[in-house]
Amino acid sequence: MSKKAILYIVFFSVLSLGFLGYAGYVIKGERGTFLGKEKLPILGAPGHTVQGFSFTDQDGRTKTKADVLGKIYVAEYFFTTCTGICPKMNANMEKVYAKYKNKPDFLILSHTVDPEHDSVPVLKAYAEKHGADSKNWWFLTGSKKELYALARQGYLVDDGTYTGEEDFVHTQWFALVDKTGQIRGLYEGTKLQDVNKLIDDIERLMEE
């Protein structure tokens, strides 16, 4: 083989390796890994993140947005006297909790939609019923208007608008939130298939 042919082979080999390296870099940036594993979508309008909040958990401690920054978490809405979708939702949420309760960067936030009834002691008893440790599964109460605004404008789990004290949010959706406050998925908490997907997506998000 001539020296010229060898030089051509070397040149095109280097060129091909460079192209593959660049393609891998692009794939990693767009999809999350060199092998092309897709990143989870970012929901909401461009730049949307969960707004600030201040609620009280089942131990009477104040929880704010600062307490969830840097954490991956799942948010839901329920009320303790619900006999419809809530028991099934929280039975399914127990599956999520069992999978990730030992992960230091993971939380569950369960917001009451009936703060008038769901006092701190009521939420404490409800949390204990579900085996929830307050270090990483918070049952939250607070201002009804603020709770509802967060559901609709922050977590995107309800498409209504606040209409006053008679207003009521009753939603089956779980929201998956990343470490920067972006919504990365919505899942029907009453459907096991959706909950299993949520469990898988949490793992994917932890790998991003």
Binding-site annotation, residues: 82, 86, 170
The answer for residues whose C-beta is within 8 angstroms of residue 58's C-beta and 6 or more apart is: 120, 123, 124, 126, 127, 132, 134, 138, 139
Give the annotated binding-site residues for Cu cation: 82, 86, 170
Alpha-carbon distance 123 to 110, whole Å? 10
The strand pairing partners of 74, in sequence order, are 108, 176
Secondary structure of residue 32 in the 3-state scheme: coil
Alpha-carbon distance 156 to 82, whole Å? 21
